[in-house]
Chain A
Amino acid sequence: MKGINSMTTIAENELTPEQVRDSKIYTQWGLTEVEYELIVKTLKRLPNFTETGIFSGMWSEHVSYKKSKPILKKFWSTNERVLQGPGEGAGILDIGDGQAVVFKAESHNHPSFVEPYEGAATGVGGILRDIFSMGAQPIAVLDSLRFGELDDPHTRHIVDGVIAGIAGYGNAIGIPTVGGEISFDSVYSGNPLVNVMAVGLIDQAAMQVGQARGVGNSIIYVGAKTGRDGINGASFASAEFSTDHESDRSAVQVGDPFLEKLVMDATLKAVREHSDIIVGIQDMGAAGLLSSSSEMAAKAGMGITLNLNLVPQRELHMTPYELMLSESQERMLLVVKRDEEQAIIDLFKEADLDAVVIGEVTDNGRYILEFDKGIVADLPIDFLTHAPKQDLPMTKPERMSTFNDTQYEPDIADLKATILAIMSQQTIASKASLFRHFDSMVRADTVIKPGGDASLVRVRGTKKALAMTTDVNARYLYLNPFVGAKMAVAEAARNIVSTGALPIGITDGLNFGSPDNPEVYYELDQSVAGINVVAQQLNTPVISGNVSLYNETDGQAIYPTPMIGMVGLLDDVNQAMTIGFKNPGDIIYLIGKTEDSFNGSEIQKMQTGKIDGQLFDFDDEAELVAQKLVRSAIHKELINSAHDLSEGGLIVGLLESSFQNTLGFDIDTQQDAKYLFSETPSRFVVSVSPELSDEFESIASGYATKLGHVTHSDEISIKTSTQNVHLSLVETVKVYQESISCQLKD
């Protein structure tokens, strides 16, 4: 055996360090020439095969965020509630009474395109591990999904697989899928987005972090055995797609929700019963054992030595490279006080799970891997975990300077036909036929199920409830990433406010094209800037998130799509508000002003087939006023329904409120009919009992416009200053409900 700091040994049948250098295999793994040279210079020797693989995983964008970090560090992420900001498995916010909410979002875009079922399923599994590795009980999952359009058979195949994968994993592990959103646009046909957000609950006393402190403490490997699935998946996720890379299929992992449930329950039990001897917990996600172990040591400023022969393996003859870069699912790493390991091992054994000491914490700052009695890697941890940052150039996208500054003029010659057409659009039509495959009720805490603005989950044993939503309209960001990002945060907050809850924090899922394209890098920078502005206005810090770059296939990038996951706190669950009209006779009000806001709108897309022109304005002040008004009206128990307006505008909001309890309405907008489709932000539709309307108007004066009232009949009657229309509720519901399932059939 060779000594530390000398040349390391190599495993059988691997390229020698010289062959690695000469063959430049590292470029296939995503390392650049400059990075490789830096490694050689710093190590003062050639890295061997395993070490080169280790760098390629750790320095991939997916793990290191080397390209996005200069932008990400601008996120505003502290306020009085923040107990844990970005940098750990998930962020944590104080919700009072010694409790805290833990949440994070993660993307599984590339795997879901290659292997939709397993890609989506393991996305759910991965984000849940992030939550319970903090010591928190997961209580809900939300999905933010973007697909190509349903007339494409391959898209239909992806939709089917992704929905089944989320259902297959989430339903089995028993964490409800309570919400999210799904939309369709051809820019996603080669790069579907599968972003999963998970929310957990924790007693503040039980919070865990992923750190390896204390010399001599043991590293315990827990859960599934390691196989050859997902090897170097992090590098795979950090590259663009090309349609001739069919063989990338092998980089997708396979999920086992049953095993994860055992791991989850046992980990949470260990946290409850042995918090005195557990030093740190980290899930094995991107770059598997490698990333989890090196990051735990780096965060604590320590070193780590692992004996790879001790890693539980489900395949024969696995090499150190494979063991370190496998992304096999349902695995966790625990750091436990020396000589106290047996209690933890016994606890996992009781649940029929592998729990094995595979190494220890050291104080030499080195990342050392032993294998077959030799040392196969010996690297400085600080260097390994700090990929050289890249300052990338950014330029304002060419398209933005060509956009016309006049707003699109909708064609509404036939108002009835236009309304029915809007309700049948893929973006607008009901997604219930997809969401019904998800168990939204397991754990019996779901107060507002999918189909509302935000979902609401009560905190058992208290009067509190947590509202949660995911949102972003990427069309707006395509037109203007800064303003569009502001609108995304605002809309997520309006969703939360519609339930009566106070928005308290954000997790993001930043989905973009290649950062090496200066225009894409500009989009990323401007999106983060826009998110920050509104996040601070709303006092909703960004406490966790995920970046997914290289969402390009054959050179076509997706729209900039920063998914905003937001959580809100409702103090009294009995005040929970829903979007549906409740009683015939209730008066319908529109909160907020409606303007010419048609560029980037659903009606523009529907009528012209594209998104074009300068994005309409966002009025920060109007947004805050509208949100405050709605929350206050809910808390004063003045309103019976509240629904935020977004894609499709007022007409879509009114009809969705109408469909919930099958009640008609009779309104007069006193505006040109085209404004039914305007997407001016910062608006809500609310309904109020006639006897409370004076009181409501006294607090809403100047902000609310009376539109009409809820009716008992099947008839929907709409007057405008230019046209009137009558619709059958039954017929309109049918269009809304059946459009997606019709298009999904081959």
Chain B
Amino acid sequence: MKAAVISFPGSNCDFDMLYALKDFGIDVQIVFAKENNLDEFDAIFLPGGFSYGDYLRTGAIARFSPIMSAVTKAANEGKLIVGVCNGFQILTEAGLLPGQLLVNKNPGFICEEVPLKVVNNNTNFSNAYSLNETIMIPIAHGEGNYFADDEVLTELENNHQVVFRYGNNPNGSLNDIAGIMNEKGNVFGMMPHPERAVEKVTGNIDGQNFFKSILSGILNQA
């Protein structure tokens, strides 16, 4: 059982994700965006950052990098794909998750710990949490305002694809959406950073159950 963290040029949370996964005993390595094969990995993580500078729309360049065809292949094979922050933005750009992340309602980058509500704990990404539990997870983004048209939103809600909602919506996201998965339940994206909330010494361990959930998901598949 192996995991990959994709490093795009401009990714800056790749090592944070790598360390967090290692802390949970996961065999994980960095794979660069120039590569095009992920066959040996069971789970793939797209970390936060500013891929290719994100001077255009966030994730708009990254989706064309060679690794993304391998990510899409892995997604189609049912492997776990997790995008955090910029990773979530890239997954929506690549069409692996529905919707779009727009500029925050009040424009500007925000770094803050915010309350999230676990609204579906029957997923590979949240099964270690209790239903409706409130957790504190840091956000750090300028473009985290989740948008989708009514049809997509209704579908997301009806299929219980919304996993986390903001308790106190910081960016204008529709339906307070902080994290969603695809219909199959193997591709997941969220704007907040659980990898920044796994160690007591840095003051917050509410992200631990996110990784425990993924670990049990990977183990179930293996």
Contact = CB atoms under 8 A, between A and B. Distances in A.
B53 A444 contact: no
A436 B109 CA distance: 8
Interface stretch (A171-179, A558-566, A631-639): A171-179
B195 A444 contact: yes
Interface stretch (B14-22, B144-152, B159-167, B211-219): B14-22
Pick the most buried of B9, B12, B193, B196: most chain A CB atoms within 10 A of its CB: B12
B138 A441 contact: yes
A574 interface: yes
Contacts of A257: 50, 53
A643 interface: no
A258 B19 contact: no
A165 to B, nearest CB: 12
Contacts of A438: 109, 111
Contact of A444 (B10, B20, B108): B20
Given A441-B196, A442-B16, A447 B50 contact: no
A443 B202 CA distance: 11
B202 A439 contact: no
Given A256-B53, A437-B108, A437-B111, A445 B10 contact: no
Interface residues of A, number: 33
A460 B20 CA distance: 12
A576 to B, nearest CB: 8
Interface string B173-206: 0000000000000000000010110110111000
A261 B12 contact: yes
B60 interface: no
A151 to B, nearest CB: 22
B9 A258 contact: yes
A174 B12 contact: yes
Contacts of A477: none
- By size class, the interface of chain B is 20 to 34
Contacts of B55: 258
A441 B201 contact: no
B180 to A, nearest CB: 23
A440 interface: yes
A391 to B, nearest CB: 48
Interface in B105-123: 108-112
A259 B111 CA distance: 23
A261 B51 CA distance: 11
A580 to B, nearest CB: 12
Contact of B49 (A174, A259, A262): A174
B210 interface: no
Given A171-B109, A174-B49, A256-B53, A442 B9 contact: no
A164 B138 CA distance: 20
A167 interface: yes
A67 interface: no
A444 B201 contact: no
Contacts of B53: 172, 256-259
Interface string B125-140: 0000000000000101
Contact of B13 (A351, A442, A449, A460): A442
A503 B12 CA distance: 30
Interface string B26-54: 00000000000000000000001110111
A352 interface: yes
Contacts of B54: 172, 258
A446 interface: yes
A442 B140 contact: yes
A615 interface: no
Contacts of A573: 201
Contacts of B195: 444
B15 A439 contact: no
A611 B123 CA distance: 62
Contacts of B13: 174, 442
B16 A258 contact: no
A351 B34 CA distance: 10
Contacts of A442: 12-13, 16, 48, 140, 196
Interface string A141-176: 000000000000000000000001001100111100
Contacts of A576: 201
A436 B202 contact: no
B16 A439 contact: no
Given A439-B140, A443-B16, A172 B111 contact: no
A441 B49 CA distance: 12
Nearest to B112: A436
Nearest to A256: B53
Contacts of A259: 53
Nearest to B52: A258
A337 interface: no
B50 A444 contact: no
Contact of B9 (A256, A352, A574): A352
Contacts of A164: 108
A168 B20 CA distance: 26
Contacts of B52: 258
A458 interface: yes
Contacts of B9: 258, 261-262, 351-352
Nearest to B49: A174
Interface string A414-447: 0000000000000000000000111111111111
Interface string A188-211: 000000000000000000000000
Interface in A447-468: 447, 449, 458, 460
Contact of B201 (A167, A351, A437, A447): A447
Contacts of B110: 436-437
Nearest to A458: B201
B16 A444 contact: yes
Contacts of B193: 441
A172 B108 contact: no
A460 B9 CA distance: 23
Given A171-B140, A262-B9, A460-B19, A444 B196 contact: yes
Contacts of A256: 53
Contacts of A440: 111
Interface of A: 164, 167-168, 171-174, 256-259, 261-262, 351-352, 436-447, 449, 458, 460, 573-574, 576
23 contacts: A167-B108, A171-B111, A172-B10, A172-B54, A173-B12, A174-B12, A257-B53, A261-B9, A436-B111, A436-B112, A437-B109, A438-B109, A438-B111, A439-B109, A440-B111, A441-B111, A442-B13, A443-B16, A444-B16, A444-B202, A447-B203, A458-B201, A458-B202
Given A437-B109, A458-B202, 11 more contacts: A172-B53, A174-B13, A174-B49, A258-B53, A436-B112, A437-B111, A438-B111, A439-B140, A444-B20, A447-B203, A460-B19
Interface of B: 9-10, 12-13, 15-16, 19-20, 48-50, 52-55, 108-112, 138, 140, 142, 193, 195-196, 198-199, 201-203
6 tightest A-B contacts by CB?
A174-B12, A258-B53, A444-B16, A172-B50, A439-B140, A439-B111
